[in-house]
Amino acid sequence: MFAGFALQFIHQIHGSLIVHAHEYAVMWPFSSAGRGEVEDTDWRFFLTGGVALENPHPNPAPTWLGEKNWSEIVRASELPALEGLMKSVRSDPNRWKMVYDSPVPHEATFPAPFQKTSDMNRLILVRCLRSDKVIPAVQVRWKLRSPLARRTKF
């Protein structure tokens, strides 16, 4: 009788985790940071957007790129892996607009030299351009790594 109860309990927990996996998707960056897979500076920027100071750099694309977004891009350019981001957006705003306009910017090809950046830096770029797409981007990245994405048979 106990074995039957235990098995039923396990099925219920597993089913609940599968059904609610999207709610736990934001845990991926947290777990990656905890394992030392993410640089502290990248992690802090992802969480906060950096310390907002006055931005002396004019926005190169004010028709589609908000001032808050531009300021985050300027601050993100100070991260070692994203050095040159501000210059890239300034020199080719139309290519960056294609990423901005994408319904799935986390899957878009970023302009050079950011095509092959880390998952965390992709999330930072998405945060800078389209903060409304951060949660879907995290969910996709988390699901690709999660054992919950594969339904286990008991």
pLDDT 10s digits, 42-94: 888 888 887 777 889 999 999 999 999 999 999 999 999 999 999 999 999 99
pTM recorded for the entire structure: 0.69
- State whether residue 65 is helix, strand or coil: coil
Contact in structure between 125 and 76 (CB atoms under 8 Å): yes
Rounded Cα distance between 1 and 91, Å, is 69
In the chain, where are the structural domains located? Answer: 2-149
Contact in structure between 75 and 82 (CB atoms under 8 Å): no
- The predicted-structure confidence for 108-153, as pLDDT tens digits, reads as follows 899 989 988 888 899 999 999 998 988 887 775 554 444 444 444 4
Query: Is the alpha carbon torsion for 90, 58, 135, 27 positive or negative?
Result: positive
The number of angstroms, rounded, from the C-alpha of 144 to the middle of its chain's C-alpha atoms is 13
The number of angstroms, rounded, from the C-alpha of 14 to the middle of its chain's C-alpha atoms is 26
Contact in structure between 139 and 22 (CB atoms under 8 Å): yes
